[in-house]
Amino acid sequence: MRIGIFDPYLDSLSGGEKYMLSIAECLSSKHEVAIFWDTQQERGIKEKAKQKLGIDISSVVFSRNIFSGKVSLISRVNLSRRYDIIIYLSDGSIPFVLSKLYIHFQFPVEWVKISNIKTRFKLNRVSRIFCNSFFTKGYIDKKFGVNSSVLYPPIHIPSLHKVRKENIILNVGRFGLNIDGSSYKKQDLLIKVFKNMVDSRLNKWSLVLIIGSKDEERNKLLELKRLSKGYPISFIENPLNSVLLEYYQKSKIYWHASGFGEDLVKYPERAEHFGISTVEAMGGGAVPVAINAGGQKEIIEDTKSGFLWNTVDELISNTDRLVHNERLFKQMSQEAVRRSKKFSGDRFCRELNNIVG
């Protein structure tokens, strides 16, 4: 089959793009796969995908982006005939094409209005809808009146080496701001909490923030670095995949706070939609201490393979338990590795083929 894939956020190469490019990688072993994007960026994105995400899409081609605003509806419809299947990462929109259409949602889209006849017509032409978590599915099913499938993101857990664990608290996430100017991944909150713990005599521990960023975000990122000055806090920007895996394996604790302080009833998309980095950290033996919201609740078995927290005081107290009880840390680290295996292996490709097969 000839399969086309579209991701409107492709150039960010974050967790969502790891998902979509993994779809391309999996399907390209048996099918002719094309990604709709600027063809002049093909080489650069393929190289970055390999280095940053560990994904090989060398056999995938880049084709004219038929979903660009520069392409007319008539041209898009005609060009879509060339594909047997189109897989479309939706930001809430439903395109009209003449191939079989599979829609993927990675977050709730509560702002979308679907009462008009045009949207209903396009929705009826969709072959299947699939989501990245049951958290996302709950909102999408209610919004669109469908019964979507869940395909958890692809998680690659490398074989554990004899890496010495260090007193590192790790956080991984792209840098970004909500419309109101608040930090999307809450790195600023984590810095403040860690500083508070150090001031309260947390000794010989460091906080490592691995951040995916763009050049235009440089000034805002500098504000985080100024906030961290004088404390054992380090930043690693846009690392190679090998560096990321190294930190997963040598860190003891993994912090996650996306959604904290947000109105998640009104803006559920501000919670973590799944949590790829959380699972990868668990696979490296880091114990997650993550906010009790979004997809994190599907990953972590509270008090067994990690801790879920609702308040900053709970974040601090649960972290303290791991810091001061080596036996508890080792036990929960083993459970975290065990739990991570539920989401790893060849599961993703197998379940993907069942969806589009």
CATH code of residue 278 = 3.40.50.2000
Mean pLDDT, the chain, rounded, equals 93
Query: Is 296 within a domain?
Result: yes
What is the strand order of the sheet 287-291 is part of? 233-237, 206-212, 168-174, 253-256, 287-291, 307-309
For 12, 61, 62, 87, 338, the CA distances from 33, given in Å and listed in that order, are 21, 7, 9, 10, 34
Statement to judge: residues 213 and 250 lie in one domain: yes
Statement to judge: residues 115 and 193 lie in one domain: no
Q: Which of 151, 179, 208 is the last residue of a domain?
A: 151
Contact 76, 67 (CB under 8 A): yes
Q: Which of 151, 179, 204 is the last residue of a domain?
A: 151
Statement to judge: residues 220 and 140 lie in one domain: no
Statement to judge: residues 322 and 217 lie in one domain: yes
Q: How confident is the model at residue 250 (pLDDT cuts 50, 70, 90)?
A: very high
pLDDT at 215 over 80: no
Q: Please identify which residue in the block is written with the tokens 């709730």.
A: 108
Statement to judge: residues 177 and 101 lie in one domain: no
6-15, 151-160, 259-268, 326-335: which has the highest mean pLDDT?
Answer: 326-335
pLDDT at 114 over 90: no
pLDDT at 180 over 90: no
Closest CA to 290 of 165, 186, 205, 192: 186
Q: How confident is the model at residue 79 (pLDDT cuts 50, 70, 90)?
A: very high
pLDDT at residue number 156: 84
For residues 161-176, give the mean pLDDT: 90
pLDDT at 14 over 90: no
Statement to judge: residues 265 and 225 lie in one domain: yes
Statement to judge: residues 242 and 147 lie in one domain: no
Statement to judge: residues 189 and 333 lie in one domain: yes
pLDDT in tens, 289-315: 999 999 999 999 999 999 999 999 999
Tokens of 1: 């089959």
Statement to judge: residues 141 and 177 lie in one domain: no
pLDDT at residue number 176: 82
Query: Is 352 within a domain?
Result: no
For residues 123-151, give the mean pLDDT: 95
For residues 111-137, give the mean pLDDT: 89
Query: Is 95 within a domain?
Result: yes
pLDDT in tens, 86-96: 999 999 999 99
Statement to judge: residues 130 and 194 lie in one domain: no
Query: Is 231 within a domain?
Result: yes
pLDDT at 219 over 90: no
Statement to judge: residues 139 and 254 lie in one domain: no
Query: Is 159 within a domain?
Result: no
- Quote the domain boundaries for residue 319: 168-342
In this structure, of 6-20, 178-192, 194-208, 331-345, the range with the lowest mean pLDDT score is: 178-192
pLDDT: which is higher, 176 or 65 = 65
SS3 string of the chain? CEEEEECCCHHHCCHHHHHHHHHHHHHCCCCEEEEECCHHHHHHHHHHHHHHHCCCCCCCEEECCCCCCCCCHHHHHHHHCCCCEEEEECCCCCCCCCCEEEEEECCCCCCCCCCCHHHHHHHHCEEEEEECCHHHHHHHHHHHCCCCEECCCCCCCCCCCCCCCCCEEEEEEECCECCCCCECCCHHHHHHHHHHHHHCCCCCCEEEEEEECCHHHHHHHHHHHHHHCCCCEEEEECCCHHHHHHHHHHCCEEEECCCCCCCCCCCHHHCCCCCHHHHHHHHCCCEEEEECCCCHHHHCCECCCEEEECCHHHHHHHHHHHHHCHHHHHHHHHHHHHHHHHHCCCHHHHHHHHHHC
For residues 58-82, give the mean pLDDT: 95
pLDDT at residue number 158: 72
In this structure, of 5-9, 62-66, 267-271, 344-348, the range with the lowest mean pLDDT score is: 344-348
**pLDDT exceeding 70 applies to what percent of the chain?**
99
Query: Is 162 within a domain?
Result: no
pLDDT at 116 over 90: no
> How many structural domains is the chain composed of?
2
Query: Is 21 within a domain?
Result: yes
Statement to judge: residues 115 and 187 lie in one domain: no
Q: Which of 97, 125, 151 is the last residue of a domain?
A: 151
pLDDT at 162 over 90: no
Query: Is 350 within a domain?
Result: no
